[in-house]
Structure formats: C-alpha cells, structure tokens
C-alpha cells in the first residue's frame, strides 16, 4: 500500500572490531531531524573518549544526512546511509562510534567497516510498518449507527473511540484510516446516509503494526 513505510520499533546495537579499532553501532527510530541531532549529541557526550561519532539518518519526508565526523570524506556517513537505504527503512538514525586502534584502515576499509557495523545494528533492531493515516470524527443520529459502523469496518478503521454528543441524542465516533481511504470513507458515509453525514478531519496521524502483521497501534 502506498501509505505504508518500514521503520524500526526500537533500537538495535552491534559491535565489531577490525585491526584493534572498535566500531559500536546503534540504530534508533526517529521522527524528526531534531530528534536525530539530540540522540547524536547525547552519544557524543556519553562516549566522549571515542575518536569518531559517524552517523546518517533518513526521514519519511525525504530528508537525509550523512556525517563523516572527521573520517575521510565519504568513508563513513555514506556507507551508513547506504545500509539504511538498502534495508528499505525510513525514520531511522544510525550512529557508529569508533575507537581508533592504532592501525589505519584506508578509505576502502573504513567504508566496509562502517557499512557492516550499521547493517548489523539495523538487523538487530525490531521493525514495524507505519501507515500514513487521517484521524476523523463523525457525529451521527442513532438511526444511522449501523450504517456508520459498516463503513468503518469496511475501511479497516483503527483506534476507534465512541462517545456521545453533549445533547445526548446522537453518537460520536473518532477513528483513523489510511490516508488514501479518506475520500472513499467520505463517499461511503454520504451514500449510506443519503447525504446526511460527512466525516470531520482531525489531522494526520501514523498507525503502526508489527512488521509480521497484527493490529494497528
């Protein structure tokens, strides 16, 4: 589905050692560049004794960044970013921290080392599928209850919350559906209630489910 994207459900970590240099890679799910920068700053502060904190991130909106952090140009950030993209992931940050072991690895060796460490950290992290969705609200007379519920069921509505209008003579339901289904839900509600009802948009949301399936959350 075009609304879906693959990301991480939690962090993953891996450590490799090449010619006495230690590479510690950690992958995180992130939603914004600010969040990625905060995690990077925290890593730099916590592991101040390391020689390099190389990183890359890519976000669902298309923003991405690769940082060599003092390593030769293109030898660290680019292979980390390639590992993220190769895994088909977005909204992800990977930091690879290096403690230099005294032996230079050369650009080719660094590319392999950083790329491998990043790939291992990503492989160690749990994954989930996100769905770009819309949050909607429908107020309906009780006579239309069955029609409204059928439309929600056909649309695979998630996070359904029921309530009552202040007057007490109508129901209110809030729910989320995949963004691409919003127009169809609007049309179905109109048809099912002879034009009496239309959903009120509440804003964009993201629904998540485990990568192996399961209910949205």
Class of the CATH domain delimited by 7-125: alpha beta
Domain locations in the chain? 7-125, 129-210
pTM of model > 0.75: yes
Q: How far apart are CA 75 and CA 82, in angstroms?
A: 11
Residue by residue, pLDDT tens for the chain (217 residues) are: 578 999 999 999 999 999 999 999 999 999 999 999 999 999 999 999 999 999 999 999 889 999 999 999 999 999 999 999 999 999 999 999 999 999 999 999 999 999 999 999 999 999 999 999 999 999 999 899 999 999 999 999 999 999 987 777 889 999 999 999 999 999 999 999 998 999 999 999 999 988 776 556 6
Q: How far apart are CA 36 and CA 142, in angstroms?
A: 47
Class of the CATH domain delimited by 129-210: alpha beta
């Amino acid at each position: 589905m075009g609304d879906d994207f693959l990301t991480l459900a939690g962090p993953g970590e891996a450590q490799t050692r090449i010619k006495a240099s230690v590479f510690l890679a950690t992958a995180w799910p992130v939603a914004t560049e600010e969040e990625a920068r905060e995690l990077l700053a925290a890593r730099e502060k916590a592991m101040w004794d390391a020689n390099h904190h190389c990183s890359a991130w890519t976000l669902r909106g298309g923003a991405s960044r690769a940082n060599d952090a003092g390593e030769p140009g293109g030898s660290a950030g680019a292979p980390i970013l390639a590992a993220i993209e190769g895994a088909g992931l977005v909204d992800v940050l990977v930091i690879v921290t290096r403690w230099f072991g005294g032996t230079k690895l050369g650009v080719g060796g660094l590319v392999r080392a950083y790329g491998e460490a990043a790939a291992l950290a990503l492989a160690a992290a749990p994954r989930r599928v996100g769905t770009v969705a819309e949050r909607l609200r429908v107020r309906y007379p009780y006579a239309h209850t069955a029609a409204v519920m059928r439309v929600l069921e056909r649309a695979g509505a998630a996070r359904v919350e029921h309530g009552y209008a202040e007057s007490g003579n109508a129901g209110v339901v809030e729910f989320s559906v995949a963004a691409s289904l919003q127009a169809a839900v609007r049309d179905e509600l109109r048809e099912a209630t002879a034009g009496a009802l239309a959903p009120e948009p509440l804003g964009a949301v993201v629904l998540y489910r485990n990568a192996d399936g399961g209910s949205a959350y």
